[in-house]
Amino acid sequence: MKTKRTGDWLEVQIPEKWDGYTIEKILKKEWNVPRKLMHSFRSNREVTLNNENPHWKTAKVKEGDTLRIRLFRPQALEVTPTYMDIDVIYEDDHLLVVNKPAGIFTHPNTPDDHDTLVNGVAFYFQMNGIESTPKYVHRLDRDTSGAILFAKHDLAIAMLGKELQERKIKRTYIALAQGKVKPRRGEIDQPIGKDRHHPVRRRVSEGGQPAVTHYEMITYDPAHKVSLIKLQLQTGRTHQIRVHLSHIGHPLVGDKMYGGKGSFDYNQALHAAKLTLIHPFTEKEIKCLAKPSSDSPFFTSEQVEGLGDENTGI
């Protein structure tokens, strides 16, 4: 789909598949615009068709028409910006993919938290004239590194959130697990709930939420008795990979909370190496590889690059 930003507005050239649609159908059914945002667009006359303001329910578009939506209205920054060396993997007018280092939280947990990735991305927005608050689509644990997806405006976060809910955003992790994982390839389908004996820890629990992890062992290091594995989440529960690997007897190296061993500066050997999604506006596939830091005690750039040409499934 052909799109172009002009100031605060996004111009969309109507594709053949939308020929005969009403404006309302495009906004509601194709883009899943939230009700509050629909009301704002309508009240402020922020959607036009060929530079006119027709009735959304009756006006039908034709292939080649120009639909304009004011997506980039300036918004006040709602978090404290903090200088941080941000590793940008991908960026356009709608979204940003950042390679998160291990050791920082994704977002503030209290009003006094100013050293999270969100604060760092807010500073990046401020320095680059992006008048918005960064909106994270998903999170990573503090000690997990790798790709995190941010939206730059309200419609992007709504559309990407729906993609995540429908499992159209694929995240591939690499990890070091204790022991030789068997079978070499498999699925862990075990519900996860809170551990009532610990304020943070999760556990496999019959009464927990459904959780499915797919994994495949890449190599086994007999000298250190660890397996390099890649994983994909079918669901996104808190600590899911950590809980599932511990449950099958192969906890992450360094993950002491779940039985892992290792004397590393990092707490756990887990890296979100690859992020694949369909762009909500251009409808093109976006593939992002997040290389580990040069001082990572666990992973190498070559291991991540090896995922580049693979299909997303495990």
pLDDT tens, residue by residue, 186-228: 999 999 999 999 999 999 999 999 999 999 999 999 999 999 9
Nearest Cα to 186, choosing from 215, 218, 217, 220? 215
**Helix/strand/coil (H/E/C) assignment for every residue in 41-66:** HHHCCCEEECCECCCCCCCECCCCCE
**DSSP E strands: which ranges in the chain?**
3-6, 9-13, 47-49, 66-69, 88-91, 95-100, 135-136, 145-151, 170-178, 185-189, 192-194, 202-204, 212-221, 226-233, 270-278, 285-289
46 and 185 share one domain: no
Question: Residue 82: what residue type?
Answer: T
- Token pair, residue 307, equals 């995922």
Tell me how many domains the chain contains: 3
* pLDDT higher than threshold 90 for residue 264: no
197 and 249 share one domain: yes
**Helical packing angle, 35-43 and 154-165, nearest 10°:** 150
State residue 307's pLDDT score.
87
Instruction: Read off the CATH number of the domain in which 27 is found.
Output: 3.10.290.10
pLDDT digits (tens, 9 = 90+) for 25-47: 999 999 999 999 999 999 999 99
Residue 94 maps to a domain: yes
211 and 251 share one domain: yes
Q: Count Cβ atoms below 10 Å from residue 199 Cβ, excluding itself.
A: 7
Residue 145 maps to a domain: yes
Q: Is 163 left (phi over 0), alpha (psi -120 to 50) or beta?
A: alpha
Model confidence pTM above 0.85:
yes
104 and 155 share one domain: yes
Q: Quote the percentage of the chain above a pLDDT of 90.
A: 86
142 and 281 share one domain: yes
Specify the 3-state DSSP secondary structure of 21: coil
- Using an 8 Å Cβ cutoff, are 210 and 196 in contact? no
33 and 93 share one domain: no
216 and 127 share one domain: no
- Token pair, residue 303, equals 């291991």
State residue 314's pLDDT score.
67
- Token pair, residue 190, equals 């075990």
Residue 75 maps to a domain: no
Please pick, among 141, 143, 154, 255, the residue that the annotation labels catalytic: 141
pLDDT confidence band for 145 (50 / 70 / 90): very high
Q: Count Cβ atoms below 10 Å from residue 297 Cβ, excluding itself.
A: 15
152 and 100 share one domain: yes
Catalytic, 87? Answer no
- The domain containing residue 44 runs over which residues? 3-69
Strand partners, 5: 10
113 and 127 share one domain: yes
* pLDDT higher than threshold 70 for residue 254: yes
Instruction: Name the H helices within the chain.
Output: 23-25, 35-43, 117-127, 154-165, 240-247, 301-305
Residue 224 maps to a domain: yes
Residue 215 maps to a domain: yes
pLDDT digits (tens, 9 = 90+) for 69-102: 999 999 999 999 999 999 999 999 999 999 999 9
Instruction: Read off the CATH number of the domain in which 225 is found.
Output: 3.30.2350.10
261 and 178 share one domain: yes
